[in-house]
Structure 1
Amino acid sequence: MYHINLIIDNIKIVNYFTLKYLGEKMIKIGVIGAGRWGTNHIRVLSELSKEQPNKLMFTAICDIDISKALNLAKTYNIPHVFSDIFEFSKHVDAAVIATPIETLSNVALKMIDRGKHVLIEKPAAITSKDIIMLEDFAKKKDAVVGVGYIMRFTSVIDFIKPSLTKFSPIFILFRRFSRRVEHIKKIHIVFDLAVHDIDLCLYLTDADSWKLEYAKIFHTDIDDSVISVLKVKDLYCNIHVDGVSLHKVREIDIVGTKAFVRGNIIEDTIMIKWDNGEFNVLKLQDEEPLKKELKSFIEAIELRKYGKLANLSDAFKVLKIVEEIMNYTT
């Protein structure tokens, strides 16, 4: 077990102790997991702590690879580095958990048990039963638990959700293609990629129930491809994810009686073809989705309202559908 203290920026020290003296609430936050996605959280939280010095203090990083955590802490001027989550928990009010998928729920349980608020990277757990356990702990500890379904915070989804009914949708088609690197392939593609679009299907339609109409997993020598169809309310979500394609695609199509809409999440563009022949192409501009997600997590802690941030109930529904897809036979 390691714990390393780094030199703290003097301004941060003044801000923290001044706020303590004034009785205002300062949220101390840290990140568990210094891998690729954890590094993104660390970068953005460092920015947010500078933008909101009266609200947020980024205090600690935890990773079993202490050298990796130490390098990031030096880069972003984070005062504490740990290899042990129990010691880490003494220095935070809230934590982002970006550990390997098979460890997410266990790490989250330990943090919640210590009274900490957590943002767990998607899908938050491997099974829906694990989500139930997390919900029980969160209720007992009165903890805010968000789940990192970041696609909710993209500019394309921000545009589509409030406008969806205008298009009179019949089908929503999701395409998520990209050649996955070798070390990611150990994670089943349904857990890695499909969960995003399953969540978006439910989020966009505000659906609490669904029917899995079809699911098929195609195996190739390179990776898998999955096609599934969900019926929610009066429309169908067609979800196609693929780990083989050399061309990266992140698109959503709305096929409606009044319009056809294509959203390109990579390019932040919307194309609309209306039933009267009118044609629109929009270039969207917005701040980074991860920053919006982390702001939403901080607001959830302050206000106890999740807003767009996915919660454990959302994560439970996604994993129930995942389990149905994995067990589906045609």
Structure 2
Amino acid sequence: MIDVLKNTPRVALIGCGAWGKNLARNFAELGALTGVCDTDTRKAKVIALEHKIEAIDEDQVFTHPNVDAVVISSLAPLHASQAERALKAGKHVYIEKPMALSVKDAQNLCALAKDRKRVLMVGHLLQYHPAFMALKERLSELGPLKHIYATRLALGRFRRQEGVLWDLASHDISLILALAQSKPKTIEAVGQAFLTPGKPASALLTLTFPNNLTAHIHASWLSPFKEQKLVVIGEKGIAVFDDRKPLAEKLLISKDCFEWEEDQPQANDGFKSSAVLLPEFEPLRHECLHFLTCIQEGTEPLTSGEEGLRVTEVLEAAEKSLQEKFVKPGGCSK
């Protein structure tokens, strides 16, 4: 993988929080970071000093002549308005997930990017993970896909601006849509919102697709243990992407899991599992480099604005389903 680009686009970062620091480091190491800003100016100054760049205010991000692209890692409710302002200023835009908190805002950003001929990319990081990239390459080994389930569990970090699906499930929806290669036919969700009314901290999402493919996602801030797992089940095999495992064990493919006796399926206790050898690289570095390359070459990102819009459509439909079904304190459904 090439880590250095000629004539590297110049990037300004909005948001110097826990994840913003990682974005700053990667864009700085790629020679692209030219400025950072945060509502907490102390955070911005610390990162600016670390990478020997400017700490600037938000207005400068959009007007500075030495800024070609804006990377947005602020609070989720600010993503759409900041991205809109950047696109209208003629900047390319990378937005951390979720790209927006409504389909209307996501559509607006996609239309703006197309009109201004600017790259719009969404930070669906796991699409750039070596394990998921390898899974896509070997998907045919599983046969026709039948079911996918994902778990993304941890204790916290609790958010008030958006529910757990918007925070955690964005990644898994992005992966599942990439594997299904189609939009879901039905979307249903149920959740528990006892911490912040109307903002579930734990939720289950069910998707159905054409060709009898189904998917489930369990996202929760209420788990005492961490789990980040994607299981893909086909007629011929099962793939497990477990991001909590060491690199050598992150992607397992199991074959001959089922056998048939008199037209009845039976579990084969002697099934074989093998770990897939993966290249060692940081997914975020790959993602940041991809954004810069798309700007230089005028190509559409893997996780483009349109891809982000499809994820937002699922999330908004899930939110609507949640508002109808989430469990209120006392155990009664709305």
* TM bracket (short chain): 0.7 to 0.9
State the 1:304 CA deviation: 2.1
Residues 246/185 of structure 1: CA separation in 2 closer, same or farther (3 Å cut):
farther
Among residues 242, 251, 256, which one is paired with 1:270 in the alignment? 251
State the 1:229 CA deviation: 1.5
Gaps of 5+ in 1: 1-18, 50-56
| Corresponding residue for residue 146 of structure 2 | 170
Deviation string 1:34-69 (CA, Å, 9 cap, x unpaired) is: 1111111001111111xxxxxxx4211122222211
State the 1:189 CA deviation: 0.5
Q: Distance in 2 between matches of 1:171 and 1:137?
A: 36
| Corresponding residue for residue 103 of structure 2 | 128
State the 1:220 CA deviation: 4.5
State the 1:141 CA deviation: 1.5
Q: Distance in 2 between matches of 1:85 and 1:124?
A: 20
| Corresponding residue for residue 245 of structure 1 | 223
| Corresponding residue for residue 9 of structure 2 | 27
Q: Is 1:41 aligned with 2:23?
A: yes
State the 1:25 CA deviation: 3.8
| Corresponding residue for residue 181 of structure 1 | 157
State the 1:286 CA deviation: 2.2
Q: Is 1:100 aligned with 2:75?
A: yes
- Does the 8 A contact of 1:296 with 1:306 survive in 2? no
The code of the aligned residue for 2:84 comes to: L
State the 1:89 CA deviation: 3.4
| Corresponding residue for residue 81 of structure 1 | 55
Q: Distance in 1 between matches of 2:187 and 2:165?
A: 16
Matches within 5 A, 1:134-213: 134-168=109-143, 169-182=145-158, 184-207=159-182, 209-213=183-187
Deviation string 1:186-240 (CA, Å, 9 cap, x unpaired) is: 4310110111111111112222x21225321133559622111212232112111
- Does the 8 A contact of 2:62 with 2:89 survive in 1? no
| Corresponding residue for residue 6 of structure 1 | none
Q: Distance in 2 between matches of 1:327 and 1:157?
A: 29
- Does the 8 A contact of 2:62 with 2:86 survive in 1? no
Task: Give the number of the structure with larger relative contact order, counting CA–CA contacts within 8 Å between residues 6 or more apart.
Answer: 2
Among residues 298, 302, 327, which one is paired with 2:296 in the alignment? 302
- Does the 8 A contact of 1:154 with 1:265 survive in 2? no
SS at match of 1:27: coil
- Does the 8 A contact of 1:118 with 1:145 survive in 2? yes
**Higher mean displacement: 185-194 or 24-33:** 24-33
| Corresponding residue for residue 287 of structure 1 | 281
Gaps of 5+ in 2: 258-270, 326-334
Matches within 5 A, 1:102-117: 102-117=77-92
Deviation string 1:85-138 (CA, Å, 9 cap, x unpaired) is: 345531300111111100011111111111000101111111010011112221
- Does the 8 A contact of 1:147 with 1:312 survive in 2? yes
Q: TM-score, normalised by structure 2?
A: 0.83
State the 1:165 CA deviation: 2.6
The code of the aligned residue for 1:231 comes to: T
> In percent, how many aligned pairs have the same letter?
26
Q: Distance in 2 between matches of 1:324 and 1:59?
A: 38
Q: Distance in 2 between matches of 1:87 and 1:41?
A: 16
- Does the 8 A contact of 1:62 with 1:85 survive in 2? no
The RMSD of aligned alpha carbons is 2.1
Residues 278/100 of structure 1: CA separation in 2 closer, same or farther (3 Å cut):
same
Q: Is 1:257 aligned with 2:232?
A: no
Q: Distance in 1 between matches of 2:116 and 2:62?
A: 18
